[in-house]
């Protein structure tokens, strides 16, 4: 009887943890997307190669939020 109670308690705690983690996710969404055809940062300032040795795209993100690490 005690082991069944402990098992139920553990399952309940796991479910509560999963629900709280899912609820803590931020509500970040894309409001607009603009191509900057004259921006050469990806070619000049920050050139990157993918795992296959090909040039990668550069995605710039502007936000009003702060405290990102």
pLDDT in tens, 24-48: 666 677 788 888 888 888 888 888 8
pTM for the model stands at 0.40
**Mean pLDDT within 9-30:** 77
**How many structural domains comprise the chain?**
1
pLDDT over 70, % of the chain: 88
| 5, 12 Cβ separation under 8 angstroms | no
Domain limits for position 53: 32-69
Q: Is 25 helix (H, G, I), strand (E, B) or coil?
A: coil
Q: Report DSSP state, residue 53.
A: S
> What average pLDDT does the structure give for the chain?
82
36 in a domain, yes or no? yes
How many residues are present in the chain? 69
| 48, 55 Cβ separation under 8 angstroms | yes
Cα dist from 64 to 5, 36, 67, 68, whole Å: 48, 20, 10, 11
- Report pLDDT for 22: 67
50 in a domain, yes or no? yes
């Amino acid at each position: 009887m005690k082991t069944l109670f402990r098992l139920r308690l553990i399952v309940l705690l796991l479910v509560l943890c999963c629900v709280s983690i899912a609820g803590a996710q931020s509500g970040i969404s894309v409001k607009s997307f603009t191509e900057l055809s004259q921006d050469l940062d990806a070619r000049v300032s920050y050139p990157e190669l993918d795992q296959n040795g090909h040039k990668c795209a550069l995605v710039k993100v502007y936000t009003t939020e702060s405290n990102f690490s």
